[in-house]
């Protein structure tokens, strides 16, 4: 039996049956959304998407984001059928299939490039890692912002180098998640006309019908956000789908939401529990019944009928190849006329930095009164940014406090009426800010977002995904401790540092003075595949005399010997981060005056320190020296790794309190007197 229908119908049903077979063979996954949305995605890719499968990192390609990450087989099937090829981490085009039929047959299995949810760094053609619902659509807002920013800053008369659109497929879960609402609100405010979300409104979630918990008028909500809203009552009406997408592409003054009414169990008429069709394999008998309904050979598995790949090649691939070729020719003329801009474009795409990007980073003179690390960070950021034109970001309504505004001439604000600016106003939307920064980063911007450290709790999901995707986003968190003072325990971070340190691949840096801040920024922007959290103080920190103490360049190694008696092993080691390094230095000087061999180790980054070889780590923290005191205004959890089983840890074991800073430092033991007493106890301790 040959598949029935026109070539378009056969292509749509090929997508559906590949998804069904992959889920069934894995005995795991979600077949419902791929079955229902196959006509929509087919129409978008075949008729509209500007994409060259031979080069999935072509800078001017349209972006397609599968925010409904549980429907991953839908994307994998499209990548396979359209012949998208692989690119490695060095951005080299390999020419091999991004997703082979064998990969699809091993969906959700170890080693396959088809994991349960799409992963950006694993499978070429996956524009961003999705899974936690709402993240993909929020990322797409960052991508759309990037497209507008790139166009405004790089396009010139006769040279439309950047002019791409961003499409995202989402579902009821994305509509319910708060991060989606935050991102949609900002997208409407910014009037991102290059953004289109396709909402699969099937009224089914894992627990059952959405009527259990979701009854709002989504269309009215998005109209209130300032979006254009279109509705399609039949997900199989490809003509109406095409009209809606064309309308979205014509609309340049606001983003578009296309609401597509679908039935999650379409093709599985015998299933009574439609939620099972969403979240479970169909079962062998239901697979056969579904294929019969599609006019498909019921015993065929992973069938790609003759002519399907050729049909995709004749439309999707041919259009993309032509557009890409025209763009390449345009870019070569652009390179001749605007060589500096062309060089910047190419460096940005490779995540390379401009020559001399760090030459203006200040060196701060010794100053016992010092400067808050948020203030020294502002100076460093504004010294770097003019030489790194694609460094941009902002705050969740806190730029005056986090000191992250770019203030040099021409920095400007990114607004609905001006896309050129580099200062972003995310509003009080921490969660969306993190996700949008990820979207900017996958678009090759060097993005940063800032807020108070306590509000990193609202951003855990996108920070984690930055690390999972290996994106070099910089998160700037100020008000780093109980030093917030009178604001009290609701605003005083205690457990946030250890929480961030627990994320694999994330670099956390808590610098001790202005020169450590400078080195922290140097480290952060030198990384290509790791996100960084900069943890900065509100209160002034003394700037250490680097002629007397070790240079701050030791920050690059995570921890370094800042002060030492020299010539012999220390009797006691004092370890601190951030503002507590000052206390350690004060105690060191007192012990030194008493003839005690003490050492101060500044440890701004556990993660960077752990990346060093064993000999360096042993040189900084000699295993034979077990008398140690670790000091940090944060949870003590994890510090036993460096203090040792017999060492002292001075940290937070409770929440903070509302009081002036000096009173809090005394109450919780962050004083030279208390640390000195702990050091003396260590010295008196028998090994």
Q: What is the pLDDT of residue 267?
A: 38
The pLDDT mean for the chain works out to 95
Are residues 531 and 562 located together in one domain of the fold? no
| CA separation, residue 684 to residues 9, 313, 572, 680 (Å) | 82, 78, 10, 6
Q: Which helix (H) or strand (E) holds 148?
A: helix 135-154
Are residues 81 and 179 located together in one domain of the fold? yes
Q: Which domain holds residue 61?
A: 7-322
- Among the options 119, 430, 519, 580, which is catalytic? 430
Q: What is the pLDDT of residue 276?
A: 39
**Mean pLDDT score, 318-327:** 98
Residues 137-191 pLDDT 10s: 999 999 999 999 999 999 999 999 999 999 999 999 999 999 999 999 999 999 9
CB contact set of 71 (below 8 Å; sequence gap of 6+) = 19, 30, 33, 34, 37, 169, 171
Q: What is the pLDDT of residue 446?
A: 98
Q: What is the pLDDT of residue 565?
A: 82
pLDDT band at 342 (very low <50, low <70, confident <90, very high): very high
**Mean pLDDT score, 478-499:** 95
Are residues 575 and 496 located together in one domain of the fold? no
* Final residue before a domain boundary, out of 285, 300, 322: 322
Q: What is the pLDDT of residue 91?
A: 79
Are residues 110 and 209 located together in one domain of the fold? yes
Q: CB 681: neighbour CB atoms within 10 A?
A: 13
Are residues 493 and 433 located together in one domain of the fold? yes
Q: What is the pLDDT of residue 279?
A: 63
Domain annotation covers residue 353: no
Residues 248-299 pLDDT 10s: 999 999 999 999 998 764 333 333 333 334 567 899 999 999 999 999 999 9
Domain annotation covers residue 494: yes
* Final residue before a domain boundary, out of 542, 569, 597: 542
* CATH number, domain with residue 666: 3.40.50.920
- Does 220 have pLDDT greater than 70? yes
- Does 406 have pLDDT greater than 90? yes
Domain annotation covers residue 212: yes
Q: What is the 3-state secondary structure (H, E, C) of 417-464?
A: CECCCCEEECCCCHHHHHHHHHHHHHCCCEEEEEEEHHHHHHHHHHHH
CB contact set of 4 (below 8 Å; sequence gap of 6+) = 10, 294, 295, 296
Q: What is the 3-state secondary structure (H, E, C) of 85-131?
A: EEECCCCCEEEEECCCHHHHHCCCCCCCCCCCCCCCCCCCCCCCCCC
Q: Which helix (H) or strand (E) holds 672?
A: helix 672-684
- For the whole model, what pTM was predicted? 0.96
Are residues 30 and 60 located together in one domain of the fold? yes
* Final residue before a domain boundary, out of 542, 572, 588: 542
Domain annotation covers residue 158: yes
Give the C-alpha separation, 82 to 320, whole Å: 11
Domain annotation covers residue 334: no
Are residues 399 and 507 located together in one domain of the fold? yes
Are residues 290 and 389 located together in one domain of the fold? no
Give the C-alpha separation, 654 to 635, whole Å: 8
Q: What is the pLDDT of residue 89?
A: 80
Is 279 or 203 the better-scoring residue by pLDDT? Answer: 203
Are residues 464 and 510 located together in one domain of the fold? yes
| CA separation, residue 341 to residues 35, 161, 311, 346 (Å) | 44, 11, 38, 9
Give the C-alpha separation, 276 to 29, whole Å: 10
Q: What is the pLDDT of residue 93?
A: 82
Give the C-alpha separation, 337 to 420, whole Å: 21
Residues 647-684 pLDDT 10s: 999 999 999 999 999 999 999 999 999 999 999 999 99
Residues 577-606 pLDDT 10s: 999 999 999 999 999 999 999 999 999 999
Helix, strand, coil distribution of the chain in percent, nearest 5: 45, 15, 40
Domain annotation covers residue 547: no
Are residues 661 and 624 located together in one domain of the fold? yes
Q: Examine the residue annotation and report whether 430 is marked as an active-site residue of this protein.
A: yes
**3-class secondary-structure state, position 190:** helix
Domain annotation covers residue 357: no
- Does 115 have pLDDT greater than 70? yes
Are residues 497 and 573 located together in one domain of the fold? no
Residues 75-87 pLDDT 10s: 999 999 999 999 9
**Mean pLDDT score, 192-209:** 91
The count of structural domains within the chain is 3
* CATH number, domain with residue 523: 3.40.50.970
Domain annotation covers residue 550: no
**Mean pLDDT score, 392-421:** 97
Are residues 504 and 537 located together in one domain of the fold? yes
pLDDT band at 110 (very low <50, low <70, confident <90, very high): very high
Q: What is the pLDDT of residue 262?
A: 87
CB contact set of 684 (below 8 Å; sequence gap of 6+) = none
């Amino acid at each position: 039996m040959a598949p029935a229908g026109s070539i378009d119908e056969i292509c749509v049903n090929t997508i559906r049956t590949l998804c069904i077979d992959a889920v069934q063979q894995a005995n795991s996954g979600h077949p419902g959304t791929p079955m229902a949305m196959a006509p929509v995605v087919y129409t978008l890719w075949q008729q509209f998407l500007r994409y060259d499968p031979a080069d999935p990192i072509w800078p001017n390609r349209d972006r397609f984001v599968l925010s409904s990450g549980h429907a991953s087989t839908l994307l994998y099937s499209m990548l396979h059928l359209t012949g998208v090829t692989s690119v490695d981490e060095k951005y080299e085009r390999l020419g091999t299939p991004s997703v082979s039929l064998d990969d699809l047959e091993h969906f959700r299995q170890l080693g396959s490039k088809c994991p349960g949810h799409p992963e950006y760094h694993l499978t070429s053609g996956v524009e961003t890692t999705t899974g936690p619902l709402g993240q993909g659509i929020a990322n797409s807002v960052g991508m759309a912002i990037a497209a507008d920013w790139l166009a405004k800053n790089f396009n010139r008369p006769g040279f439309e180098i950047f002019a791409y659109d961003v499409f995202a497929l989402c579902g009821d879960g994305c509509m319910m998640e708060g991060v989606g609402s935050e991102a949609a609100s900002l997208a409407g405010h910014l009037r991102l006309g290059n953004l289109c979300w396709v909402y699969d409104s099937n009224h089914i979630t894992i627990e059952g019908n959405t009527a259990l918990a979701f009854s709002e008028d989504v269309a009215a909500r998005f109209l209130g956000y300032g979006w254009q809203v279109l509705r399609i009552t039949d997900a199989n009406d490809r003509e109406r789908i095409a009209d809606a997408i064309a309308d979205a592409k014509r609309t340049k003054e606001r983003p578009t939401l296309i609401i597509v009414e679908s039935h999650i169990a379409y093709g599985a008429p015998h299933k009574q529990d439609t939620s099972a069709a969403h979240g479970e394999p169909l079962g062998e008998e239901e697979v056969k019944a579904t294929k019969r309904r599609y006019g498909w050979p019921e015993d065929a598995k992973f069938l790609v009928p003759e002519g399907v790949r050729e049909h995709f090649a004749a439309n999707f691939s041919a259009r993309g190849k032509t557009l890409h070729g025209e763009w390449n020719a345009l870019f070569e003329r652009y390179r001749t006329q605007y060589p500096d801009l062309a060089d910047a474009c190419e460096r940005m795409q490779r995540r390379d930095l401009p020559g001399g990007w760090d030459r203006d980073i200040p060196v701060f003179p010794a100053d016992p009164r010092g400067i808050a690390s948020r203030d020294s960070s502002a100076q460093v950021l504004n010294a770097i940014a003019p030489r790194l034109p694609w460094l941009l970001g902002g705050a969740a309504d806190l730029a005056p406090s986090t000191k992250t505004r770019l203030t040099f001439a021409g920095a400007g604000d990114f607004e609905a009426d001006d896309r050129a600016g580099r200062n972003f106003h995310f509003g009080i939307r921490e969660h969306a800010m993190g996700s949008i920064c990820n979207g900017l980063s996958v678009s090759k911007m060097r993005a940063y977002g800032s807020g108070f450290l306590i509000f990193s709790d609202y951003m855990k999901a996108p920070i984690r995904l930055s690390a999972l995707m290996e994106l070099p986003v910089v998160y700037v968190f100020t008000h780093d401790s109980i030093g917030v003072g009178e604001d009290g325990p609701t605003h005083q971070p205690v457990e946030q540092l250890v929480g961030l340190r627990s994320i694999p691949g994330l670099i956390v840096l808590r610098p001790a003075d202005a020169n450590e801040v400078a080195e922290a920024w140097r480290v952060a922007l030198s990384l290509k595949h790791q996100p960084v959290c900069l943890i900065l103080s509100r209160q002034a920190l003394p700037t250490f005399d680097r002629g007397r103490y070790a240079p701050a360049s030791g920050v690059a190694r995570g921890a370094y010997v800042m002060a030492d008696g020299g010539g012999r092993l220390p009797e006691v080691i004092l370890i601190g981060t951030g503002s507590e390094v000052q206390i350690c230095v004060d105690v060191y000087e007192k012990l030194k005056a008493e003839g005690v061999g003490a050492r101060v180790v500044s440890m701004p980054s556990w993660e960077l320190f752990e990346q060093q070889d064993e000999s360096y780590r042993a040189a900084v923290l000699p295993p034979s020296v077990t008398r140690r005191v670790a000091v940090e205004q944060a949870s003590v959890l994890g510090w036993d790794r460096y203090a040792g089983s017999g060492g002292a840890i001075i940290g937070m074991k409770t929440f903070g309190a509302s009081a002036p800073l000096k009173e809090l430092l005394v109450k919780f033991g962050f004083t030279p007197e208390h640390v000195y007493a702990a050091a003396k106890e260590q010295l008196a301790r028998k090994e």
